[in-house]
Amino acid sequence: MSSYTAPVADIRFALHDVLGVEALFQRLGLSEATADIIDAVLEEAARFSGTVLAPLNSVGDEIGSVFDKSTAAVTTPPGFKQAYDQFVEGGWTGLTAAPEFGGQGLPHTLGVPLNEMVNAANLAWGNFPLLSHGAVEALKHHGEAWQQEVFLKPLIEGRWTGTMCLTEPHCGTDLGLLKTRAEPNADGSYSITGTKIFITAGEHDLTDNIVHLVLAKLPDAPPGPKGISLFVTPKFKVARDGTVGERNALACGSIEHKMGIKASVTCVMNFDGAQGYLVGQPHKGLQAMFTMMNTARLGVGLQGIGLSERAYQNALRYSRERLQSRSLSGAKFPDKPADPIIVQPDVRRMLLTIKSLTEGSRLLALHAATLIDVAHHAQDPAERERADTLVSFLTPISKACQTEWGIENTYHALQCFGGHGYIHEHGMEQLARDARITTLYEGTTGIQALDLMGRKTAASQAAGLKLFLAEIEAFAREHEGDADLAEFIKPLRDQASEWAMLTREVLERAARDPEEIGAASYDYLFYSGYVVLAYWWARSVAAARGKDTNLATAKRETARFYYARILPRTMAHAAHIRSGAKALMALDEALFG
C-alpha cells in the first residue's frame, strides 16, 4: 500500500514565502485569513487527509462502489460514509463558501491545499464533495434568490451533494448535439426527460439528497449550443419553501466499470419527466455551465498534483530502501550489500522530474487561486478584470498540464519500483490507473489546448499571455544584475520572448488557415506550461534565499534540474508548432489504414 503525508512545509513555502498570501488577503479585506488561521487549516487538513482518507484509498479501489440494479441504489465502500460525515462535521465543505449560506468565508486560495491533500489521500473519495463546488458556483451566479436560499445552504454544509449532468451517449465535447428535453409545467417548473452519462456521484449513500444541475433543451430552443438551458433537478423534490418532498422521476440506470477511481461512481442517469427549475436565462445554459466547468477544471488539475505528490513520496522511500547494484563511481554504502538505487543518476532523473513538476505545479495552481480571490475581492475593477483574464488564461494550462504531468509522474514513480510497481499490493499501479481519468474528464487535454489557443489566445488578442509575460518581465527586472539569479533570469527571459514570438507566428498563420489553431494547440499548451513553471522555479529560488539553508539548497538544485532537464522539452514543442498544420492535415482520411 502506498502511504501519504501532506507536504505542509512546501505548501507553506508556496503560500507565505513565494506568494505572500497573508499580505494579499489583508489587502483584499479577507482579514480573517491570518497566518495563524492559514497554518491551522493546513495542519488540520493534513491530519484529516492523512489519517482518515488515505487509509481508505486501497479499500476503495478493491471494493469499489456497488450498484444494486433492483433498487437503483449505490453503496460506497466501507468507511466512505463515516469519512464523509467527519468531513462535513469539520466544516470542510464550506471552508471557502460565503458565510450567508453557512460557509466559513475563507479565501478561495485556502481551498486549494485542502483539495490537493484530499486528492492525494483518496482521489475517488474526493470526487463526491468536488462536484458540489460546481453546482454551488452555478447557483450562486445564475440561480434565482429562492433557489440560492433552498439549495446553497445544504450543498455548502455538505448535507447534500451536487452533480453536473452534461454528457449524453452521443455527445460530450459537442453539447450542441444534446437531446435531453425540458417541457414547461403549469407551476413554473419543468419536466426533464433524457439520458445523461458519465455523471460523477450521480447516485450514492453519503447524503440524503443529490442536486443535479442538468443541461437540457426547451421546446423552442434554437439548434446547437445556443439552445441549451440549465435546470436544477434534485433526487428528492424540493419545494420553493425548501420542503423536501417525494422522490423525483430520475434514477441511476447503471454505473461504469472503469480503469481506476473505482470508488467514484460514474452513473448513467435517466430522467423520466423529472421536476426541475430553470437556472438563469432560457438558452443561456452554456454560460452557466462554463461557470461550473472552470471551477471543476482547476479542481481536476489539483488531482494531478495530489497524485504526483503521493507517487513521489513512495518512490522516494523505495529508492532509498531498495539496495541494488553499486554506484557507477564506486560504492557509496560499502557496508551494505549494495547501494540504494537513489545513487543511480537515472533514478534521480525520475525523482527530480516528479519533484520539479509537482512543486512547480503547486505554485501554478495556488497562483491561479489567488487570482480568483483578487477577481472577487479587489477594490479596483481594473485589477479584478486583470485577474479574471489571467486566471482564464491559466485555467486550461493548469488543468491539462497538471493532469498530464500527473500521469507522467505516476509513471516514473511506478518505474522506480521496477517490477514491484506493477503489483497491486504496493499501491503504485492504483495511482497510475486513477491518474488516467484526469486528462479525460472535464474536457480532454485536446479540448483544453483548443480553449487556450483559440478562445484564450486567438480570440482575445492574447490578453492573458500578455499579462503573464508582463509578470515575468517585472520579476526579471526586479532581479536584474542579481548574480545569484542570473542563471535563471536569462533563459527565462529568452523563453518568454520565444513564447511571444511563437504566439504571433501561430496567429498569423491562423489568419490564413484556421486549422493552424488546432494544429498548434497541443504543443502550444505544453510550451506554455513549461515556461510558466520555469517562472515559478526562478521565483522559488528567489523566495528561498535567506530561509532555511536546506530549503534554499533543495529549491536551487531542483530549479537547476528543471532548467537543464525539463525546460528543453520546449525545443521540441516549438519545432512541432513551427512545422504547421500541413504535416497533420495532408494525409487523406481514407489512407490512415
Segment 82 to 111, residues that bind a copy of itself, using CB under 8 A: none
State the Cα–Cα distance between residues 410 and 211, nearest whole angstrom.
33
State the Cα–Cα distance between residues 135 and 142, nearest whole angstrom.
10
> Which of residues 86 and 553 has its CB atom nearest to a copy of itself in the complex?
553
Min dist CB 216 to a copy of itself, Å, is 18
Min dist CB 581 to a copy of itself, Å, is 6
Task: Select from 126-134, 226-234, 340-348, 378-386 the region that touches a copy of itself (CB under 8 A).
Answer: 340-348
Give catalytic status of residue 442 as yes or no. Answer: yes
CB atoms under 10 Å from CB of 5, counted, come to 15
Task: Select from 44-52, 267-275, 349-357, 366-374 the region that touches a copy of itself (CB under 8 A).
Answer: 349-357
> Which of residues 105 and 454 has its CB atom nearest to a copy of itself in the complex?
454
CA–chain centroid gap for 122, Å, is: 14
Q: Is 222 in the site for a copy of itself (CB under 8 A)?
A: no
Kindly identify the residues of this chain, within the stretch 228-257, that bind a copy of itself according to CB under 8 A: 256-257
CB atoms under 10 Å from CB of 21, counted, come to 23
SS3 for 185-247 is CCCCCEEEEEEEEEEECCCCCCCCEEEEEEEEECCCCCCHHHHEEEEEEECEEECCCCCEEEE
State the Cα–Cα distance between residues 476 and 430, nearest whole angstrom.
41
Closest by CA to 286, choosing from 362, 173, 206, is: 173
State the Cα–Cα distance between residues 165 and 258, nearest whole angstrom.
19
Kindly identify the residues of this chain, within the stretch 274-333, that bind a copy of itself according to CB under 8 A: 312-313, 316, 320, 323-325, 327-329
Min dist CB 506 to a copy of itself, Å, is 12
CB distance 410 to 404 below 8 Å? no
> Which of residues 148 and 445 has its CB atom nearest to a copy of itself in the complex?
445
Cα within 13 Å of Cα(147), Cβ side = 24
DSSP structure class, residue 11: H
> Which of residues 188 and 593 has its CB atom nearest to a copy of itself in the complex?
593
User: What nine digits make up the cell of 361?
Assistant: 505545479
CB atoms under 10 Å from CB of 23, counted, come to 10
Task: Select from 18-26, 202-210, 374-382, 578-586 the region that touches a copy of itself (CB under 8 A).
Answer: 578-586
> Which of residues 260 and 301 has its CB atom nearest to a copy of itself in the complex?
260
Min dist CB 31 to a copy of itself, Å, is 34
Closest by CA to 252, choosing from 136, 371, 163, is: 163
Q: Which helix (H) or strand (E) holds 269?
A: strand 266-279
> Which of residues 282 and 454 has its CB atom nearest to a copy of itself in the complex?
454
User: What nine digits make up the cell of 490?
Assistant: 536569462
State the Cα–Cα distance between residues 505 and 67, nearest whole angstrom.
52
Min dist CB 18 to a copy of itself, Å, is 18
Q: Is 553 in the site for a copy of itself (CB under 8 A)?
A: yes
Q: Which of 61, 168, 429, 451 binds a copy of itself (CB under 8 A)?
A: 429
- Looking at the DSSP assignment, which residues form a beta bridge with residue 319? none
Instruction: Please list, in sequence order, all residues whose beta carbon lies within 8 angstroms of the beta carbon of residue 337, skipping any fewer than 6 positions away.
Output: 323
Kindly identify the residues of this chain, within the stretch 3-32, that bind a copy of itself according to CB under 8 A: 7
Kindly identify the residues of this chain, within the stretch 191-220, that bind a copy of itself according to CB under 8 A: 198
Q: How far apart are the first and last CA of the chain?
A: 43
Q: Is 514 in the site for a copy of itself (CB under 8 A)?
A: yes
Q: Which helix (H) or strand (E) holds 357?
A: helix 345-377
- Contact flags string 350-389 toward a copy of itself, x per CB under 8 A: -xx--x----------------------------------
Min dist CB 295 to a copy of itself, Å, is 19
Kindly identify the residues of this chain, within the stretch 159-188, that bind a copy of itself according to CB under 8 A: 167, 170-174, 177
Catalytic residue among 149, 442, 508, 516: 442
Task: Select from 17-25, 30-38, 52-60, 423-431 the region that touches a copy of itself (CB under 8 A).
Answer: 423-431
Listed in sequence order, the DSSP H helices in 451-568 are: 463-478, 486-512, 515-544, 549-565
> Which of residues 329 and 379 has its CB atom nearest to a copy of itself in the complex?
329
Task: Select from 36-44, 96-104, 286-294, 557-565 the region that touches a copy of itself (CB under 8 A).
Answer: 557-565
Kindly identify the residues of this chain, within the stretch 33-92, that bind a copy of itself according to CB under 8 A: none
The residues assigned a catalytic role are: 442
